[in-house]
Amino acid sequence: MNRMKSSFFVVGVMILALGVGLIGFAQAEDDDGPMSDLRFLVVKDFNGKPVRNAAVVLHPVTRKGKQSKGGLELKTDGEGHANIDGIPYGPLRIQVLAPGFQTFGEDYRIDKPELIITVRMKRPGEQYSIYDNQADPKKPDDKKAPEQKPPQ
């Protein structure tokens, strides 16, 4: 008799698991809204030539504008192209990183079946420090002591 009860229990658990799995699948089908195919072209800003092996990072964005956990990284090919299909409509943060260039970052609203995004990578800007002497080298430095003439 105990064997019979445990068999029914196992069968019941299997049916319950199958039912929950089917419900989850049905909900996933309902959540699948329109999808977009994204096409990226990453080029150098100063001459328009492609940037190869640039990292194109896609981050989902919440309704409140905050970056969600997770993300996806693509790499550009020799012609500066990267592609991905099946990205759901909605906000998406896109970052592009490449050695020797400023990091690019911008939020996009994905709302078309195909979206082509061209990113123009800029050279790094000059860096400034509060510790460097920022005075014009042609002008005398204000912080120097005034010149003293020897007594005559």
Are 75 and 56 spatial neighbours (Cβ–Cβ below 8 Å)? yes
Please, which pLDDT band fits residue 73 given cuts at 50, 70 and 90?
A: very high
146 lies in some domain: no
Tell me which residue of 63, 88, 91, 87 sits closest to 74, measured CA to CA. Answer: 87
Q: Alpha-carbon distance 20 to 71, whole Å?
A: 28
Which range marks the domain in which residue 17 is found? 1-32
Given a cut of 60, is residue 104 above it in pLDDT? yes
Beta strands at 81-88 and 72-75: parallel, antiparallel or unpaired: unpaired
At residue 30, the pLDDT reads: 43
At residue 63, the pLDDT reads: 81
Residue 85 sits in the same domain as residue 102: yes
Residue 2 sits in the same domain as residue 58: no
Please state the domain count of the chain. 2
What digits encode the pLDDT tens for the residues 114-143? Answer: 999 999 999 998 877 788 765 555 555 555
130 lies in some domain: no
What digits encode the pLDDT tens for the residues 2-53? Answer: 554 444 444 443 443 334 333 332 333 345 799 999 999 999 999 999 999 9
Strand order in the sheet with 114-121: 81-88, 35-44, 114-121
99 lies in some domain: yes
Residue 15 sits in the same domain as residue 60: no
